[in-house]
């Protein structure tokens, strides 16, 4: 069953206690790194947006949790740090059995927030030129 969650808290509450603790740390790392991000559910996953633009999603799986999207700027900026994890199809997988890399997750969130802000600025500049 894949319910339609109405909030990130509801999503977390649906997880087993051990997973809930892990995801709670992931959530806190993202919220502290990007405090102005709006927290919503999108594609049935916890999602963080700035000015309506996607910053990050996270989701729990059987043996890992994932962060999305692992864009080129994220992978380039944090190459040495993310190489310890499985990166595939714009997704970074973190094993549930390992400690949560809170600092890395915060850095990923900050790189994504910067990327979103730069894209938004470029779009605004392009619109003014028209």
- Please report the pLDDT score of residue 88 as a whole number: 95
**HEC readout, the chain:** CCCCCCCHHHHHHCCCHHHHHHHHHHHHHHHHHCCCCEEEEECCEEEEEECCEEEEEEEECCCEEEEECCCHHHHHHCHHHHCCCEEECCEEEEECCCCCCHHHHHHHHHHHHHHHHHHHHHHHHHHHHC
State the Cα–Cα distance between residues 45 and 42, nearest whole angstrom.
Answer: 5
Instruction: Flag whether the pTM goes above 0.75.
Output: yes
* pLDDT 10s digits, 4-23: 899 999 999 999 999 999 99
| Average pLDDT score over residue span 36-61 | 96
Residue 16: partners with Cβ closer than 8 Å, 6 or more residues away: none
Domains of the chain: residue spans and CATH: 8-129 (3.90.1150.200)
């Amino acid at each position: 069953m894949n319910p339609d969650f109405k909030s990130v808290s509801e999503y977390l509450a649906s997880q087993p206690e051990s997973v809930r603790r892990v995801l709670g740390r992931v959530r806190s790392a993202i919220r502290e790194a990007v405090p102005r991000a709006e927290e919503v559910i999108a594609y049935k996953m916890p999602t963080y947006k700035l000015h309506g633009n996607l910053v990050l999603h996270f989701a729990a799986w059987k043996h890992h949790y994932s962060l999305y999207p692992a864009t080129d700027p994220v992978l380039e900026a944090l190459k040495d740090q993310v190489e310890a994890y499985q990166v595939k199809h714009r997704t970074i997988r973190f094993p549930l059995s390992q400690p949560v890399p809170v600092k890395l997750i915060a850095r990923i969130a900050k790189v994504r927030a910067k990327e979103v802000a730069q894209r938004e600025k470029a779009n605004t500049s392009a619109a003014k030129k028209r």
